[in-house]
Amino acid sequence: MSRTMEDISLKHDNGDALRFKGRLFSECSHFDEESGSLTRQQLYVTDTGEKVYYIVRGAGKERSRSVYKLSVDGDLCVIDNGKDALTMNFDMLMLAVKSLCNLASDARPPIEAVEDMLKAANA
């Protein structure tokens, strides 16, 4: 995989394209036979160290595109989709991710607690 930074423009469904200087870091695709949908996920790293996560889903003529930029400033993470931004403490973000992915199954809080935590993070 190339380490050369280039100008990248990713189209998404909630507005203008997200433009940045960076490089592709990782990508994968998944086909769901039940729904007939193909999901492609790409992870980019920017020249300023931010991460950009791009998801394209398609089934038949329907398609959706989402892009999220993640930046870290000290103990805070900012997740920006080009329209809205969510700021939360890094530890809270990791707890939410682990809980939603069932990685901490022995101490997994109920989904309502995770939703409340995510809502409170940007209040």
pLDDT per position as a tens digit, 63-105: 999 999 999 888 888 888 888 888 888 788 777 777 666 555 5
Paired residues of 24 in beta bridges: 44
Q: How far apart are CA 9 and CA 7, in angstroms?
A: 7
| Rg over CA atoms, the chain | 16
Query: What is the pLDDT, as a whole number, of residue 38?
Result: 93
Query: What is the pLDDT, as a whole number, of residue 14?
Result: 83
Instruction: Answer with the residue of higher pLDDT: 4 or 106.
Output: 4
Q: How far apart are CA 91 and CA 109, in angstroms?
A: 15
Mean pLDDT of 102-110: 54
Mean pLDDT of 18-40: 92
Identify the CA nearest to 5 among candidates 16, 17, 20: 20
Beta strand ranges found along the chain (DSSP E):
6-12, 15-32, 37-46, 51-59, 62-73, 76-80, 85-89
Identify the CA nearest to 12 among candidates 42, 35, 45: 42
Identify the CA nearest to 95 among candidates 75, 109, 81: 109
Q: Is 113 helix (H, G, I), strand (E, B) or coil?
A: helix
Give 30-39 pLDDT, tens digit per residue.
999 998 999 9
Q: Is 109 helix (H, G, I), strand (E, B) or coil?
A: coil
The pair of three-digit structure tokens given for residue 73, joined into one six-digit string = 């400033």
Q: Is the pLDDT of residue 59 over 50?
A: yes
Q: Is the pLDDT of residue 120 over 70?
A: no
- The chain-wide mean pLDDT, for the chain, equals 82
Q: How far apart are CA 14 and CA 37, in angstroms?
A: 21
Q: Is the pLDDT of residue 123 over 50?
A: no
